[in-house]
Amino acid sequence: MYIRVKRSKTTYFIQCDPTETTLDIKQKLHTLIDQPVNDQRLILMNTGDILEDSKTLADQKVENDAVVALTLRKDDNEFEDVNIVKPNDFYQSRDTDSGNW
């Protein structure tokens, strides 16, 4: 399976296994973003649950193609808020054509 880890304008597609723990995922992210695992927080988007390091993905109902938000520890030691940039409104140019596509 894979999950989509999102922060700001970036989405990381991470291949993983339901038996892997949150910490395993953070270690994979570490190699990509150079942030120590302790400075990462992962939040399952469809429930808002913060994922716990020792638990497996399966335990926390993280399924294939799930979207997980990544937040990082700020200078004040607190974690930043979830910040995922939404893509430009894709339909802007075609909103008059309602119903049909």
Partner 1 sequence: MGAACSRKRDQLDNVDGFDRGVSGRYCKSGSSKWLATTFSRPVLEIQREKKKCPSLLELCTHKIREDIDNYVSFSTLPRDLSQQIFNELVKSQRLTDVSLEAFRDCALQDLYLGDYPGVNENWMDVISSQGSSLLSLDLSGSDVSDPGLIYLKDCVNLQDLNLNYCDQISDRGLKHISGLSNLRSLTFRRNSAITAQGMAALSGLVNLMKLDLEKCPGIHGGLIHIKGLTKLESLSIKWCNCITDADMKPLSGLTNLKSLQISCSKVTDFGITYLKGLQNLSVLNLEGCPVTASCFDTLSVLVSLLFLNLSRCNLSDDGCEKLSKLGNLKVLNLGFNDISDACLIHLKGLTNLESLNLDSCRIGDNGLVHLTGLQNLKCLELSDTEVGSNGLRYLSGLCKLESINLSFTVVSDGGLRELSGLTSLKSLNLDARQITDAGLAALTSLTGLTHLDLFGARITDSGTSHLRNLKNLRSLEICGGGLTDAGVKNIKDLSSLSLLNLSQNCNLTDKTLEMISGLTGLISLNVSNSRVTSAGLRHLKPLKNLRSLTLEACKVTANDIRRLQSAGLPNLVNFRPE
Partner 2 sequence: MKRKDTVKLISTDEMEFVIDKDAAMVSQTIRNMLTSPGPIDNWVFLGGFAETELGEVTFPEISAVILEKICQYFYWALQYSRGKETEFHIEPELTLELMMAANYLHT
Residues that bind partner 1 (CB under 8 A): 99-101
- Closest by alpha carbon to 52, among 77, 100, 43? 43
Partnered with residue 73 across adjacent β-strands are 79
Footprint of partner 2 on this chain (CB under 8 A)?
A: 1-2, 4, 9-15, 28, 31-32, 65, 85, 87-88, 90-91, 101
State the nearest-atom distance from the C-beta of 30 to partner 2, in Å: 10
Residue (77 or 100) nearer to partner 1, CB: 100
Tell me which of partner 2, partner 1, none is bound by residue 65, counting a contact when its beta carbon lies within the kind-specific cut-off of 5 to 8 angstroms.
partner 2
Supply the DSSP string of 18-39, one letter for each residue. TTSBHHHHHHHHHHHH---GGG
Partnered with residue 6 across adjacent β-strands are 11, 69
